[in-house]
Structure 1
Amino acid sequence: MKKNLLLLLCCVFSSLLFAQPTITTTDLLKVGDVVITQPCATATFNPGSPGANQTWDFSQLVAEGPEDTTFYISPIGTPYAADYPLSNIVGRFGGNQYGYYQVAGDNLLFFGQKDPSSAIVLTDPAVYFKSPATFGTSVTDSIAGSLNAGPLNGSVTGQAFFKGDGYGTLTTPGGQYSDVLRIKTLTVAVVTVPFFGTITDSVFNYSWYKLGIQTPVFEMIEDTQWSGGAVIDQVRYVNYYRSLSSDATEPTKAIRSSIRAFPNPTEGDVAVDFELSERQSVRILVFDLTGYTVLTQKFEGAQGSNQARLEMGAMPNGVYVVEIQADNVREQKRLVVQHD
């Protein structure tokens, strides 16, 4: 009996050491956030095993192409806001592509995506995230809406499946993260186009979340289209989060500390302080919250402490993002311009 009790206590203690992470909608992206991710080559697509206390190692993935930047903004003033009246947060990426979402209580809903050449508008949105999400959380949801892609116009119906299917330790080329939660989603949509037929689109999405980071730290996505029982197209995406103040253990960075901007709020010039690991040229950019670059400046930085001055007096009132780029590393700081 004593031996069994000791074994039970050890099991309880072990479960405390590997506590299951829980993510809620309050931990996710908000208006004003800017996310930078690095795409990777997708010659292989193996998301690893589900389950408790997993170790997922993707450190050998090879970066492919430039980093991607997504600006999370208010739908007010975006070009397609009228098509998504319930949206309260928008992801703007690729220059002119907009994804429309709604944070509604325990749900993060996806209402669709639009650019100048195509649009998906969901009248029955997909559950993109269900809160609180933890290992074992499972949701099935219906979706419905319309598709417009040039000459093709049709209806969309289907289902989305959301599941917290694992937790453990994750390693990416960007670093190592402990206590991550993996969310697996499967969206199966049937697109019906009059006089053309039907296409079935299935999307597997594996996303790893780390509490304290507003966006997945790693994603693997496989999008397959079927018609008449045959695969007509398949696309894979793999990307990892390029954290600016990461929980990951990373190599020494070109920018050694978070940047500081003052005064903040400002109505005129701003001093930006930062430290470099070595002498090098840096770029300083300022974005508004629609993602447009309003100021660009080159700066010859010295090893150690540096200070640059930005002329912000002519900028309208609002929130801006100051970004410093050095040796493929980016650091950002929010800045408020407020004229009396």
Structure 2
Amino acid sequence: MKTEYLLFIILGIFFNTYMRAQPTITSADMITGTFQFTAFTFNQGVHTPGNAGANITWDFTNISGTNEIYRMFYGTCPAIPECSSFPTANQYVAVLDNAGNQSADKNLLKLSSAQLEHLGARNNTTNFTLTYTDIPIELKFPMTYLNSFTDTSSSTVNGVTTSTNDIITADGYGTIKTPVGTYSNVLRVKKESTITIITSGVPTSTTKITTYSWYKNSREVIGVFSMGNLLSPIVQPLPSRFQYTNNNVVLGVGEVEDMKSLVVYPNPSSDFITIKNEKIIDKIELSDAEGRKISEYKETSTIDISKLLRGVYYLKIDLKNEKTQIKKIIKK
């Protein structure tokens, strides 16, 4: 009996240690500051997000594809005028340019001890506001292994409604390896999104996007792997993407070379797409969802897509003396 009792104690200690090893993400882990991201875009299947489960090691040290580098600033409201468009917002996110200036596009969020909500977006330059009739929930706290919830969201812009159904699950924890470092005790959150675009009451396209995000305590997200498929009006795979942060949590303004933020509007569109940017546009390549080049444009900021079939396309935009940017557009 004593031997059995001792074994029970040992197993109990092991079980408690095992349970404590599982990371838990709370609202306190959603920190603010400047973060550098390196992103790779590649054909679906070239790289995979790895397995779900306990004590998993995800290795992305040999990631490859079309490369881009950018920085994001995570700030607090009411530090900027755009916060007034969303009175309940207490955080915002914006892209930074080379000089550390924030882009005109601001995403506004509400962070509480219970959850993180994306309230919408505001661009004071173009006087554009994106609001949700059904606000999306990004995370619920505390989030730990095997926690799961569902969510819906919707927004309408220029008569086009985008409705999203999400299934969000913490499907794994362990160690993630990126080209700049190894991070242990991370939690992976899987988000399965079904996105339907409705024009004049009629569904015009449906897309399934699955995103895997790796979170670590007292850090912003370490890595994000996204993959998707266009389900209608035709079935076709979309390019996949993996992005990761630098080892440093907060970076100085001059530490990295970044891209200018572009404003692409209207998007979705049925006829013309306009690209607004402070820099001179050198060249634009239009490709389909599988990466096949359709056409090329020189020194223009307006693209005619009226003759394209409905669906998802990509603009590869080369700016003079700047890094290339890739933007997804939707032909409705």
Task: Report the TM-score when normalising by structure 1.
Answer: 0.62
- Classify 1:114/1:179 alpha carbon distance in 2 versus 1 (closer, same or farther; 3 Å): same
Give secondary structure in 1 for the equivalent of 2:238: strand
Could you tell me which of 93, 106, 111 is aligned with 2:114?
Answer: 106
Higher RCO (CA 8 Å, separation ≥ 6 residues):
2
- Classify 1:78/1:241 alpha carbon distance in 2 versus 1 (closer, same or farther; 3 Å): same
Q: 2: CA distance between counterparts of 1:91 and 1:216?
A: 13
Asked whether 1:138 is paired with 2:148, we answer yes
Q: 2: CA distance between counterparts of 1:78 and 1:64?
A: 33
Which amino acid in the other structure matches residue 108 of structure 2?
Answer: Y
Q: 1: CA distance between counterparts of 2:13 and 2:194?
A: 39
Moved more, 156-165 or 51-60: 156-165
Asked whether 1:37 is paired with 2:37, we answer yes
1:308 maps to what in 2? none
- Classify 1:113/1:222 alpha carbon distance in 2 versus 1 (closer, same or farther; 3 Å): farther
1:238 maps to what in 2? 242
2:63 maps to what in 1? 61
Give secondary structure in 2 for the equivalent of 1:136: coil
Q: CA deviation at 1:63?
A: 7.1
Q: CA deviation at 1:73?
A: 2.6
Asked whether 1:185 is paired with 2:185, we answer no
Give secondary structure in 2 for the equivalent of 1:40: strand
Q: 1: CA distance between counterparts of 2:170 and 2:224?
A: 14
- Classify 1:8/1:77 alpha carbon distance in 2 versus 1 (closer, same or farther; 3 Å): closer
List alignment gaps of at least 5 residues for structure 2.
97-102, 257-332
Asked whether 1:217 is paired with 2:222, we answer yes
Q: CA deviation at 1:127?
A: 1.1
Q: 2: CA distance between counterparts of 1:120 and 1:62?
A: 34
Q: CA deviation at 1:204?
A: 1.2
Q: 2: CA distance between counterparts of 1:124 and 1:37?
A: 29
2:29 maps to what in 1? 27
Q: CA deviation at 1:235?
A: 3.9
Q: Counterparts of 1:116-195 in structure 2 under 5 Å?
A: 116=126, 120-146=130-156, 148=157, 153-194=159-200
| Identity among equivalent pairs (%) | 25
Q: Of the two, which has the highest radius of gyration?
A: 1
Asked whether 1:199 is paired with 2:205, we answer yes
Q: Aligned residue pairs: how many?
A: 244
Which amino acid in the other structure matches residue 107 of structure 2?
Answer: G
Task: Report the TM-score when normalising by structure 2.
Answer: 0.63
Which amino acid in the other structure matches residue 56 of structure 1?
Answer: W
Q: 2: CA distance between counterparts of 1:50 and 1:36?
A: 26
Moved more, 10-19 or 189-198: 10-19
- Classify 1:240/1:11 alpha carbon distance in 2 versus 1 (closer, same or farther; 3 Å): farther
